[in-house]
Amino acid sequence: MKGRRRSSGSSSRVQFLGSERGRSHQAWYGLLADYYDHLYDPRRVPSAYLFLHDLFRRRGPVTSVLDIACGTFAVDLPLVKRGYEVVGRDLSEPMLRAARRNLREAGRSADVAHGDMRSLRLPRTFDAVLCLGTAFNYLVEPAEVRNTLATARRHLRHGGLLVLDLTNFASFLPNPKNVRAETDYRDPDGTQIAVYAFNDQDRARNVHHSRFITLVRRGNRIRLAFDESPMRIWTKADLAKVLEREGFRPVEWWGRMRLGARYAPRASPRLVSVSRRR
Ligand SMILES: C[S@@+](CC[C@H](N)C(=O)[O-])C[C@H]1O[C@@H](n2cnc3c(N)ncnc32)[C@H](O)[C@@H]1O
Protein backbone atom coordinates (compact mmCIF):
# COMPACT_ATOMS: atom_id res chain seq x y z
CA MET A 1 0.00 0.00 0.00
CA LYS A 2 1.27 3.47 -0.91
CA GLY A 3 3.13 5.15 1.91
CA ARG A 4 3.32 2.01 4.06
CA ARG A 5 6.75 0.50 4.63
CA ARG A 6 6.98 -3.26 4.25
CA SER A 7 8.54 -4.85 7.27
CA SER A 8 11.55 -6.82 6.09
CA GLY A 9 11.50 -10.61 6.44
CA SER A 10 8.24 -11.07 8.29
CA SER A 11 5.59 -10.42 5.63
CA SER A 12 4.55 -13.51 3.68
CA ARG A 13 2.71 -13.98 0.42
CA VAL A 14 0.10 -16.71 0.64
CA GLN A 15 -0.88 -18.56 -2.51
CA PHE A 16 -4.05 -20.61 -2.11
CA LEU A 17 -3.92 -23.66 -4.35
CA GLY A 18 -7.32 -25.24 -4.25
CA SER A 19 -10.54 -25.80 -2.46
CA GLU A 20 -12.85 -28.58 -1.51
CA ARG A 21 -13.21 -31.27 -4.19
CA GLY A 22 -11.07 -29.14 -6.51
CA ARG A 23 -7.92 -31.19 -6.11
CA SER A 24 -7.13 -34.87 -5.95
CA HIS A 25 -4.37 -36.83 -4.25
CA GLN A 26 -2.32 -36.44 -7.44
CA ALA A 27 -2.10 -32.67 -6.90
CA TRP A 28 -1.05 -33.31 -3.31
CA TYR A 29 1.80 -35.59 -4.40
CA GLY A 30 2.83 -32.91 -6.89
CA LEU A 31 3.12 -30.36 -4.09
CA LEU A 32 5.09 -32.61 -1.71
CA ALA A 33 7.03 -35.10 -3.87
CA ASP A 34 10.45 -33.48 -3.29
CA TYR A 35 10.05 -33.82 0.49
CA TYR A 36 7.77 -36.86 0.68
CA ASP A 37 10.42 -39.26 2.05
CA HIS A 38 11.00 -37.02 5.08
CA LEU A 39 7.37 -36.49 6.07
CA TYR A 40 6.63 -39.80 7.76
CA ASP A 41 8.17 -42.24 10.24
CA PRO A 42 11.89 -42.67 9.33
CA ARG A 43 11.76 -46.30 10.58
CA ARG A 44 9.22 -47.29 7.96
CA VAL A 45 11.62 -47.91 5.06
CA PRO A 46 14.23 -50.02 6.93
CA SER A 47 11.46 -52.05 8.61
CA ALA A 48 9.66 -52.59 5.30
CA TYR A 49 12.89 -53.72 3.63
CA LEU A 50 13.60 -56.31 6.36
CA PHE A 51 9.99 -57.48 6.22
CA LEU A 52 10.03 -57.93 2.42
CA HIS A 53 13.46 -59.55 2.27
CA ASP A 54 12.44 -62.03 4.98
CA LEU A 55 9.14 -62.75 3.19
CA PHE A 56 10.87 -63.29 -0.17
CA ARG A 57 13.33 -65.73 1.39
CA ARG A 58 10.60 -67.70 3.17
CA ARG A 59 8.09 -67.74 0.33
CA GLY A 60 10.41 -67.43 -2.69
CA PRO A 61 12.29 -67.83 -4.84
CA VAL A 62 11.89 -64.12 -5.57
CA THR A 63 14.43 -62.25 -7.67
CA SER A 64 12.21 -59.99 -9.81
CA VAL A 65 9.70 -57.52 -8.34
CA LEU A 66 7.15 -55.12 -9.88
CA ASP A 67 5.97 -52.20 -7.72
CA ILE A 68 2.74 -50.92 -9.34
CA ALA A 69 2.57 -47.66 -7.28
CA CYS A 70 6.22 -47.12 -6.45
CA GLY A 71 6.05 -43.44 -5.47
CA THR A 72 9.55 -42.18 -4.67
CA PHE A 73 10.96 -45.76 -4.86
CA ALA A 74 12.01 -45.38 -1.20
CA VAL A 75 10.94 -48.89 -0.17
CA ASP A 76 12.27 -50.41 -3.41
CA LEU A 77 15.75 -48.90 -3.32
CA PRO A 78 17.09 -51.12 -0.46
CA LEU A 79 15.78 -54.16 -2.40
CA VAL A 80 17.72 -53.00 -5.48
CA LYS A 81 20.83 -52.56 -3.31
CA ARG A 82 20.32 -56.12 -2.05
CA GLY A 83 20.36 -57.45 -5.62
CA TYR A 84 16.65 -57.75 -6.47
CA GLU A 85 15.54 -56.53 -9.87
CA VAL A 86 12.77 -54.00 -9.13
CA VAL A 87 10.63 -52.34 -11.79
CA GLY A 88 8.55 -49.35 -10.64
CA ARG A 89 5.46 -47.72 -12.12
CA ASP A 90 3.46 -44.78 -10.73
CA LEU A 91 0.79 -42.31 -11.84
CA SER A 92 2.54 -39.21 -10.49
CA GLU A 93 5.33 -37.62 -12.55
CA PRO A 94 6.64 -35.56 -9.57
CA MET A 95 6.89 -38.75 -7.46
CA LEU A 96 8.71 -40.46 -10.35
CA ARG A 97 11.15 -37.53 -10.58
CA ALA A 98 11.86 -38.01 -6.86
CA ALA A 99 12.30 -41.77 -7.51
CA ARG A 100 14.87 -41.09 -10.24
CA ARG A 101 16.66 -38.60 -7.98
CA ASN A 102 16.80 -41.23 -5.21
CA LEU A 103 18.24 -43.80 -7.63
CA ARG A 104 20.80 -41.30 -8.99
CA GLU A 105 21.92 -40.29 -5.50
CA ALA A 106 22.35 -43.96 -4.57
CA GLY A 107 24.33 -44.63 -7.77
CA ARG A 108 21.78 -47.26 -8.90
CA SER A 109 19.54 -47.69 -11.91
CA ALA A 110 16.12 -49.28 -12.34
CA ASP A 111 13.26 -49.28 -14.83
CA VAL A 112 11.00 -46.58 -13.35
CA ALA A 113 8.26 -45.02 -15.48
CA HIS A 114 4.73 -43.70 -15.66
CA GLY A 115 1.95 -46.30 -15.40
CA ASP A 116 -1.56 -46.73 -14.06
CA MET A 117 -2.00 -49.83 -11.91
CA ARG A 118 -5.59 -50.15 -13.13
CA SER A 119 -4.51 -50.82 -16.72
CA LEU A 120 -0.75 -51.52 -16.78
CA ARG A 121 0.51 -54.04 -19.37
CA LEU A 122 4.19 -55.00 -19.48
CA PRO A 123 5.40 -57.79 -21.77
CA ARG A 124 6.75 -59.97 -18.94
CA THR A 125 6.02 -61.48 -15.53
CA PHE A 126 7.65 -61.14 -12.08
CA ASP A 127 8.12 -63.25 -8.94
CA ALA A 128 6.40 -60.62 -6.76
CA VAL A 129 4.10 -57.61 -7.20
CA LEU A 130 3.95 -54.84 -4.59
CA CYS A 131 1.25 -52.24 -3.96
CA LEU A 132 2.33 -50.39 -0.82
CA GLY A 133 1.72 -47.27 1.23
CA THR A 134 -2.09 -46.91 0.93
CA ALA A 135 -2.13 -46.85 -2.90
CA PHE A 136 -4.67 -49.71 -2.91
CA ASN A 137 -7.06 -47.67 -0.72
CA TYR A 138 -7.35 -45.12 -3.57
CA LEU A 139 -9.33 -47.71 -5.53
CA VAL A 140 -12.87 -46.94 -4.45
CA GLU A 141 -14.92 -48.38 -7.32
CA PRO A 142 -15.27 -52.20 -7.52
CA ALA A 143 -14.15 -52.11 -11.19
CA GLU A 144 -10.91 -50.31 -10.21
CA VAL A 145 -10.19 -53.00 -7.60
CA ARG A 146 -10.90 -55.77 -10.11
CA ASN A 147 -8.75 -54.17 -12.81
CA THR A 148 -5.82 -53.61 -10.43
CA LEU A 149 -5.90 -57.19 -9.16
CA ALA A 150 -6.05 -58.31 -12.81
CA THR A 151 -2.93 -56.18 -13.44
CA ALA A 152 -1.17 -57.88 -10.52
CA ARG A 153 -2.21 -61.33 -11.72
CA ARG A 154 -1.15 -60.63 -15.32
CA HIS A 155 2.35 -59.67 -14.16
CA LEU A 156 2.89 -62.56 -11.72
CA ARG A 157 4.24 -65.98 -12.56
CA HIS A 158 2.13 -68.88 -11.31
CA GLY A 159 2.66 -69.05 -7.52
CA GLY A 160 4.13 -65.52 -7.43
CA LEU A 161 3.49 -63.23 -4.44
CA LEU A 162 1.21 -60.20 -4.21
CA VAL A 163 1.93 -57.88 -1.25
CA LEU A 164 -0.71 -55.25 -0.43
CA ASP A 165 -0.01 -52.69 2.30
CA LEU A 166 -3.17 -50.73 3.12
CA THR A 167 -4.05 -48.15 5.72
CA ASN A 168 -6.26 -49.92 8.27
CA PHE A 169 -8.99 -47.27 8.16
CA ALA A 170 -11.25 -49.73 10.03
CA SER A 171 -9.17 -48.94 13.13
CA PHE A 172 -10.50 -45.35 12.91
CA LEU A 173 -14.02 -46.65 13.50
CA PRO A 174 -14.31 -45.83 17.21
CA ASN A 175 -13.37 -42.24 16.31
CA PRO A 176 -14.28 -41.83 12.64
CA LYS A 177 -13.93 -38.06 12.60
CA ASN A 178 -10.65 -36.55 13.61
CA VAL A 179 -8.55 -33.47 13.09
CA ARG A 180 -4.87 -33.71 13.77
CA ALA A 181 -1.49 -32.34 12.79
CA GLU A 182 -0.14 -35.12 10.60
CA THR A 183 3.23 -33.64 9.74
CA ASP A 184 5.39 -30.81 11.02
CA TYR A 185 8.65 -30.83 9.03
CA ARG A 186 11.47 -28.35 8.46
CA ASP A 187 13.89 -29.25 5.66
CA PRO A 188 17.59 -28.36 5.83
CA ASP A 189 16.92 -26.07 2.80
CA GLY A 190 14.65 -23.96 5.07
CA THR A 191 11.33 -25.18 3.63
CA GLN A 192 8.65 -25.73 6.28
CA ILE A 193 5.81 -28.20 5.71
CA ALA A 194 2.72 -28.67 7.84
CA VAL A 195 -0.03 -31.15 7.03
CA TYR A 196 -3.30 -31.19 8.96
CA ALA A 197 -5.58 -34.19 8.51
CA PHE A 198 -9.31 -33.65 8.69
CA ASN A 199 -10.94 -37.06 8.28
CA ASP A 200 -14.44 -38.40 8.09
CA GLN A 201 -15.99 -41.77 7.27
CA ASP A 202 -19.05 -42.89 5.37
CA ARG A 203 -19.53 -46.38 6.82
CA ALA A 204 -22.56 -47.16 4.66
CA ARG A 205 -20.36 -46.87 1.55
CA ASN A 206 -17.12 -48.09 3.20
CA VAL A 207 -15.44 -44.82 2.23
CA HIS A 208 -12.95 -42.85 4.29
CA HIS A 209 -12.74 -39.17 3.27
CA SER A 210 -9.10 -38.21 3.59
CA ARG A 211 -8.74 -34.42 3.67
CA PHE A 212 -5.51 -32.54 4.06
CA ILE A 213 -4.78 -28.89 4.64
CA THR A 214 -1.15 -28.50 3.58
CA LEU A 215 1.13 -25.51 4.07
CA VAL A 216 4.51 -25.25 2.36
CA ARG A 217 6.59 -22.22 3.27
CA ARG A 218 9.67 -21.23 1.26
CA GLY A 219 11.16 -17.91 2.30
CA ASN A 220 8.27 -15.48 2.52
CA ARG A 221 6.07 -17.49 0.18
CA ILE A 222 3.42 -19.78 1.66
CA ARG A 223 1.49 -22.22 -0.50
CA LEU A 224 -1.75 -23.36 1.09
CA ALA A 225 -3.68 -26.29 -0.39
CA PHE A 226 -6.81 -28.20 0.44
CA ASP A 227 -7.00 -31.73 -1.00
CA GLU A 228 -9.59 -34.42 -0.59
CA SER A 229 -9.60 -38.07 -1.65
CA PRO A 230 -12.12 -40.81 -1.05
CA MET A 231 -10.34 -43.95 0.18
CA ARG A 232 -11.81 -47.45 0.41
CA ILE A 233 -12.12 -48.91 3.93
CA TRP A 234 -11.08 -52.58 3.89
CA THR A 235 -11.55 -55.23 6.52
CA LYS A 236 -9.44 -58.37 6.43
CA ALA A 237 -12.54 -60.48 5.64
CA ASP A 238 -13.60 -58.25 2.69
CA LEU A 239 -10.10 -58.19 1.26
CA ALA A 240 -9.68 -61.96 1.61
CA LYS A 241 -12.96 -62.52 -0.24
CA VAL A 242 -11.98 -60.23 -3.14
CA LEU A 243 -8.49 -61.72 -3.40
CA GLU A 244 -9.93 -65.25 -3.58
CA ARG A 245 -12.45 -64.20 -6.21
CA GLU A 246 -9.76 -62.56 -8.39
CA GLY A 247 -7.41 -65.56 -8.44
CA PHE A 248 -5.23 -65.22 -5.33
CA ARG A 249 -4.80 -67.36 -2.22
CA PRO A 250 -4.12 -65.25 0.90
CA VAL A 251 -1.27 -66.83 2.89
CA GLU A 252 -0.24 -64.20 5.50
CA TRP A 253 -1.70 -61.14 7.26
CA TRP A 254 0.29 -58.53 9.18
CA GLY A 255 -0.42 -55.31 11.12
CA ARG A 256 2.34 -53.39 9.33
CA MET A 257 5.44 -54.15 7.25
CA ARG A 258 7.56 -54.95 10.26
CA LEU A 259 8.89 -58.37 11.28
CA GLY A 260 6.44 -60.06 13.66
CA ALA A 261 3.80 -57.24 13.64
CA ARG A 262 0.61 -59.21 14.18
CA TYR A 263 -2.61 -57.88 12.73
CA ALA A 264 -5.20 -56.61 15.23
CA PRO A 265 -8.35 -55.23 13.52
CA ARG A 266 -8.97 -52.35 15.93
CA ALA A 267 -5.37 -51.48 16.77
CA SER A 268 -3.05 -52.09 13.81
CA PRO A 269 -2.15 -49.02 11.76
CA ARG A 270 -1.89 -51.10 8.58
CA LEU A 271 -3.51 -54.10 6.95
CA VAL A 272 -0.83 -56.07 5.08
CA SER A 273 -1.81 -59.08 3.01
CA VAL A 274 0.45 -61.56 1.26
CA SER A 275 -1.18 -63.82 -1.31
CA ARG A 276 -0.15 -66.25 -3.99
CA ARG A 277 -1.28 -66.12 -7.57
CA ARG A 278 -3.27 -69.24 -8.36
C1 LIG B 1 1.11 -42.93 -0.39
S2 LIG B 1 2.03 -43.05 -1.89
C3 LIG B 1 2.96 -44.52 -1.58
C4 LIG B 1 4.17 -44.66 -2.47
C5 LIG B 1 4.99 -45.94 -2.24
N6 LIG B 1 4.24 -47.13 -2.63
C7 LIG B 1 5.42 -46.05 -0.80
O8 LIG B 1 4.94 -46.98 -0.10
O9 LIG B 1 6.22 -45.22 -0.34
C10 LIG B 1 0.78 -43.62 -3.02
C11 LIG B 1 1.28 -43.64 -4.45
O12 LIG B 1 0.29 -44.27 -5.25
C13 LIG B 1 0.32 -43.65 -6.51
N14 LIG B 1 -0.91 -43.98 -7.23
C15 LIG B 1 -2.18 -43.63 -6.90
N16 LIG B 1 -3.04 -44.14 -7.81
C17 LIG B 1 -2.28 -44.82 -8.72
C18 LIG B 1 -2.59 -45.58 -9.90
N19 LIG B 1 -3.87 -45.71 -10.31
N20 LIG B 1 -1.58 -46.17 -10.58
C21 LIG B 1 -0.29 -46.02 -10.16
N22 LIG B 1 0.06 -45.30 -9.07
C23 LIG B 1 -0.93 -44.72 -8.36
C24 LIG B 1 0.49 -42.18 -6.17
O25 LIG B 1 0.88 -41.43 -7.30
C26 LIG B 1 1.52 -42.26 -5.07
O27 LIG B 1 2.83 -42.16 -5.56
**Structure confidence by residue, pLDDT tens digits, 137-166:** 999 999 999 999 999 999 999 999 999 999
Q: Is residue 48 part of a domain?
A: yes
pTM of the model: 0.91
Do residue 73 and residue 204 come from a single domain?
no
Which residues does a 6 A CB cutoff place in the pocket of ligand 1?
29, 69-71, 74-75, 90-92, 95, 116-118, 132-135, 138
Q: What is the amino acid identity at position 1?
A: M
Substitution candidate for ligand 1 out of 79, 138, 146, 210 with most atoms within 8 A of CB: 138
Cα gap 154→242, rounded to integer Å: 16
Do residue 248 and residue 206 come from a single domain?
no
Q: What is the CATH number of the domain that holds 53?
A: 3.40.50.150
Cα gap 83→103, rounded to integer Å: 14
Burial of 223 from C-beta contacts in 10 A (0-12 / 13-18 / 19+):
middle
Q: Is residue 146 part of a domain?
A: yes
Do residue 115 and residue 241 come from a single domain?
yes
Do residue 80 and residue 134 come from a single domain?
yes
Structural domains counted in the chain? 2
Domain extent for 20: 12-34+174-231
Q: How far is the CA of 210 from the centre of ligand 1 (A)?
A: 15
Q: How far is the CA of 246 from the centre of ligand 1 (A)?
A: 21
pLDDT digits (tens, 9 = 90+) for 163-219: 999 999 888 766 666 667 777 889 898 899 988 888 888 888 899 888 888 888 888
Task: Give residues with Cβ within 8 angstroms of 113, minimum separation 6.
Answer: 88, 89, 96
